[in-house]
């Protein structure tokens, strides 16, 4: 077993390294911020500044997504993937060692860029390295790392918070990331540099058909649907009457529900078509978004967390995998373009969220607006199915 886990070309080790990479690049460098937000709000952060930090983080992610489109050969992708892992560690360490607002803003931007290198470029590396006939199902396992990233970062944070501060939690997370990164970098590389002409594919605008553009627009709305709860979910639950203190439990449920979700959704996509399954997942996500605005029942709000975790993670896997399939030999091109649209939604959503919360005094209007935007995404997909139903797979 140990020999397999140390084999760079074994599917088991490739998938494990991919999951661990997501835990570092997305969990530690991004989602841990959501987990620790209630504690930082009690100390020195304001909700408005937290929203600005989130927007800066997603701006960095957007920049990374656009940048990834122009990484043409696998050797360059490996280099920038490694840079993304290192940036994820260093930017987390900044949050542990200073409360300087300027440094936090800069670190959030850089962390976002690093997360894009890990999730998009790392995903492309995993897709290239895997030696399986059905990569859709295998990539479902890879993207389960998003669920693990939430659960693992939450468990580490809550363990440290029993006797320590949020700064101690950031320090522990950066230490964990540092240790894990050695294995990830070792596995997600190649025994020797590949010939560039064998893996280099020119950018082609021909893949951006009306069908694909509608798919990208739908993923933009999903970026909005993702980010509001990704940034504020614990605080949303804590703000409801009678539910103060349940926010972090809700966030842990998001991660746990998300772990198997991408595997399940990807299997369904293989059987019933990616676009059909994406529409169903987005409809369930809308229900989860609306629950906190309509009820203060603890069980319904924990169900909301489960719906959120089991849909947004699955949707990332579904969209990116489907985009990779449509792009053909250079999957990172369309994956990067889609993630850029997703990133634009991510940048704007925290800003309108805090503005509406400041104006109305609660999250209800934010949740209504977000649910409506995701619904528009469903309409985009329904129209895409109408114009080119044969592209669905």
| CA–CA distance, 213 with 273 (Å, rounded to integer) | 18
pLDDT for res 304: 95
| CA–CA distance, 243 with 89 (Å, rounded to integer) | 34
Please tell me the total number of residues recorded for the chain in this structure.
Answer: 393
| CA–CA distance, 352 with 122 (Å, rounded to integer) | 31
pTM: 0.82
104 contacts 91 by C-beta, under 8 angstroms: no
pLDDT for res 45: 84
Written as six digits, the tokens of 324 are 């990779």
145 contacts 19 by C-beta, under 8 angstroms: yes
pLDDT for res 199: 45
| CA–CA distance, 293 with 228 (Å, rounded to integer) | 13
Contacts by residues 208-212 (CB-CB < 8 Å, ≥ 24 positions apart): 208/337, 209/388, 210/387, 210/388, 211/384, 211/387, 211/388, 211/391, 212/323, 212/326, 212/334
Written as six digits, the tokens of 24 are 């570092």
Q: What is the pLDDT along the chain (393 residues), one digit of tens a residue?
A: 777 788 888 899 999 999 999 999 999 998 899 889 888 988 888 888 888 998 899 889 889 888 887 887 888 999 999 999 999 999 999 999 998 989 999 999 999 999 999 988 998 899 888 887 767 678 778 888 888 998 999 999 999 999 999 999 999 999 999 999 999 999 988 866 555 544 444 444 456 788 889 999 999 999 999 888 888 888 899 999 999 989 989 999 999 998 888 888 888 888 888 899 999 999 999 999 999 999 999 999 999 999 999 998 889 888 877 887 777 666 667 777 887 888 888 888 888 888 998 899 889 999 999 999 999 999 999 999 888 755 555
CA atoms within 13 A on the CB side of 359: 9
Per-residue b/e over 96-123, b at no fewer than 16 CB within 10 Å? beeeeeeebbebbbbbbbbbbbbbbbbb
pLDDT for res 329: 61
With H, G, I as helix, E, B as strand and everything else as coil, classify residue 246: coil
pLDDT for res 206: 52
Q: Which residues contact 139 (CB under 8 A, 6 or more apart)?
A: 123, 126, 127, 130, 266, 317, 321, 324
pLDDT for res 144: 85
Helices (H), the chain: 2-5, 11-22, 32-43, 47-69, 74-97, 101-116, 122-129, 135-143, 145-161, 166-187, 196-199, 210-238, 247-272, 274-294, 298-327, 331-360, 364-387
How deeply is 161 buried, as exposed, middle or buried, from its count of CB atoms within 10 A (0-12, 13-18, 19+)?
middle
DSSP 389: G
CA atoms within 13 A on the CB side of 218: 30
Closest Cα to residue 119, out of 90, 96, 87?
87
């Amino acid at each position: 077993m140990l020999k397999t886990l140390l084999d760079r070309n074994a599917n088991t080790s490739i998938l494990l390294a991919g999951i661990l990479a997501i835990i570092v690049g997305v969990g530690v460098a991004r989602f841990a911020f959501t987990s620790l937000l209630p504690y930082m709000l009690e100390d020195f952060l304001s909700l408005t500044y937290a929203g600005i930090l989130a927007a800066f983080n997603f701006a960095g992610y957007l920049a990374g997504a656009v940048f990834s489109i122009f990484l043409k050969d696998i050797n360059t992708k490996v280099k920038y993937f490694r840079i993304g892992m290192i940036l994820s560690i260093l930017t987390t360490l900044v949050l542990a060692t200073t409360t300087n607002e300027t440094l936090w803003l800069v670190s959030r931007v850089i962390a976002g860029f690093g997360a894009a290198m890990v999730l998009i470029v790392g995903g492309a590396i995993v897709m290239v390295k895997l030696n399986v006939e059905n990569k859709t199902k295998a990539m479902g396992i890879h993207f389960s790392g998003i669920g693990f990233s939430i659960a693992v970062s939450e468990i580490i944070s809550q363990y440290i918070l029993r006797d320590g501060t949020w700064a101690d939690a950031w320090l522990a997370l950066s230490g964990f990331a540092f240790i894990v990164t050695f294995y990830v970098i070792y596995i997600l590389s190649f025994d020797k540099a590949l010939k560039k002409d064998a893996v280099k594919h020119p950018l082609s605008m021909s893949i951006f058909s009306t069908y694909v553009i509608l798919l990208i627009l739908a993923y933009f709305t999903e970026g909005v649907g993702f980010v509001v709860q990704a940034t504020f979910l614990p605080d949303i639950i804590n703000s409801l009457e009678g539910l103060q203190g349940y926010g972090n439990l809700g966030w842990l449920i998001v991660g746990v529900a998300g772990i198997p979700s991408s595997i399940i959704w990807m299997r369904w996509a293989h059987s019933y078509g990616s676009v059909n399954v994406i529409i169903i997942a987005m409809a369930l996500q809308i229900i989860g978004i609306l629950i906190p605005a309509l009820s203060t029942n603890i069980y319904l709000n924990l169900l909301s967390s489960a719906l959120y975790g089991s849909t947004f993670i699955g949707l990332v896997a579904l969209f990116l995998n489907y985009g990779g399939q449509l792009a053909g030999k250079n999957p990172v091109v369309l994956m990067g373009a889609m993630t850029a649209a997703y990133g634009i939604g991510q940048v704007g959503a925290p800003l309108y969220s805090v503005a509406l919360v400041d104006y109305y005094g609660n999250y209800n209007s934010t949740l209504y607006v977000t649910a409506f935007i995701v619904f528009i995404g469903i309409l985009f997909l329904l129209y895409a199915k109408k114009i080119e139903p044969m592209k669905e797979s």
